[in-house]
Amino acid sequence: MVVDALPLRAVAANVIAAVEHGQSLSQCLPSALASLPATDRPELQALCYGTCRWFHRLDGELHQRLKKPLRKPDRVVHHLMLVALFQLRHSQQATYAILNETVEACRALDKPHLTGLVNGVLRAAQREGEPEPVTPTIQYSHPEWMVEKLRHNWPEAWAAILEANNAQAPMTLRVNASQITRDDYLQWLTDAGIEAEATPYAPYGIQLASPCGVDKLPGFADGAVSVQDEAAQLCTTLLDLAPGQRVLDACAAPGGKTCAILEHCPELADVIALDQSAERLPRVQENLDRLGLSATLMEADAANLDQWWDQLPFDRILLDVPCSASGVIRRHPDIKLLRREADITPLAAIQSGLLTSLWKTLKPGGRLVYATCSVFPQENHRIIQRFLKQERTARLLEPDVAWGITTPAGRQLLPNARSHDGFFYACLERIDE
């Protein structure tokens, strides 16, 4: 992706093109941001996230307005017009500025022969307004396969899920209970002029009325608080942690749950944070260091026990498996472009393999909490149901909680536009054969 010396909208168009070709925003956006002055970076981020969030709706409108698709070498101009349509439909920027600067960006992308087309399409879009969406894919701005899968899995909630996915996620904090109480930290926020309230389900959670930089959060640098969605925080309430336990956090990066475990019960005997990504493990250590916590970090494939397990069993295991991330689309809107329906079956195989392997490392009487940030039953309760049929030493626990939807095997949180992400949890206890 070439971004050097390009104007902001041209850079954004290249980013969207890279996402459509399979790169995540976390992969392609950092270099794009670095190519621009610091003052332009927040706008670039907003353009890229917003265009991905509304991609299918914007793309539907653009296809209606174009007499024929652009040639493959000119496809970047298609992405440029999507960025401009996003601004026309979802920003307060002056129309003349959007049109003029998009035309200039077209020239900067070395496509001067298309400036007339760009100008005409955008002027018509401004003059005529947004057309009425003709399909659920366009209306809710999600890929067709995902809309249909959600309609099948959640016939009464699918539209609410899609709408929640298009909302801006709130900023939620996890108070470090080993340093300060939630009530006291709420007072700190009030004193700092930051409006916030306690989360209803996570005992250490606080949701801000408006997002802010972490540098504005009292005590953040000293470890008083971390940023973590309420749904993700619930893992500690299910693990039933107690002093002296040996705990495994499998698939641990970037470490938010590892830190939550240690904050919840500082007297644990040992916490192993395992992840197969050497690139992501340093982030786990950074989070631990800021919070003044300690864990044993290991790089390995959790399913390959010969790589890492020392044959000492665990009292508690948190297995937050790789998944479709369909419950956190509002935080990662590029998932709409990157994920394919064909991905789900291979992911389910990985999830089942991890669960089967790690079960061998759990003590009799121990507890494993299976977690995903998915809303698809294929990755969630169906995995647990199959496992329970094949593993005689596994027993499903039904935690007494006020959150989520009861499924045949576990509890499902659906994304809520005003609070938590979509998440699934199942608690399993190992019993003697």
Catalytic residue IDs: 373
Cβ count near 43 (within 10 Å): 16
CA 131 to chain centre: 30
**Burial of 68 by CB count in 10 Å (0-12 exposed, 13-18 middle, 19+ buried)?**
exposed
Alpha-carbon torsion (8, 13, 19, 21), positive or negative = negative
Name residue, tokens 């002056």.
94
- How far apart, in whole angstroms, are the C-alpha atoms of residue 220 and residue 189? 11
Distances (CA, A) of 54 to 92, 137, 207, 380, 383: 16, 11, 25, 27, 32
CA 104 to chain centre: 34
- How far apart, in whole angstroms, are the C-alpha atoms of residue 276 and residue 278? 6
The answer to whether the CB of 355 falls within 8 A of the CB of 319 is yes
The answer to whether the CB of 164 falls within 8 A of the CB of 250 is no
Phi then psi for 397, rounded to 5 degrees?
-100, 140
Of 46, 55, 54, nearest in space to 17 by CA: 55
Strand, coil or helix: 242? coil
The answer to whether the CB of 369 falls within 8 A of the CB of 238 is yes
Side chain identity at residue 377, one-letter code: P
- How far apart, in whole angstroms, are the C-alpha atoms of residue 75 and residue 58? 15
Residues in CB range of 283: below 8 A, 6 or more apart = 253, 254, 255
Side chain identity at residue 363, one-letter code: K
- How far apart, in whole angstroms, are the C-alpha atoms of residue 12 and residue 34? 13
Q: How far apart are the first and last CA of the chain?
A: 57
Count the helix, strand and coil residues of the chain and give each as a percent rounded to the nearest 5.
45, 15, 35
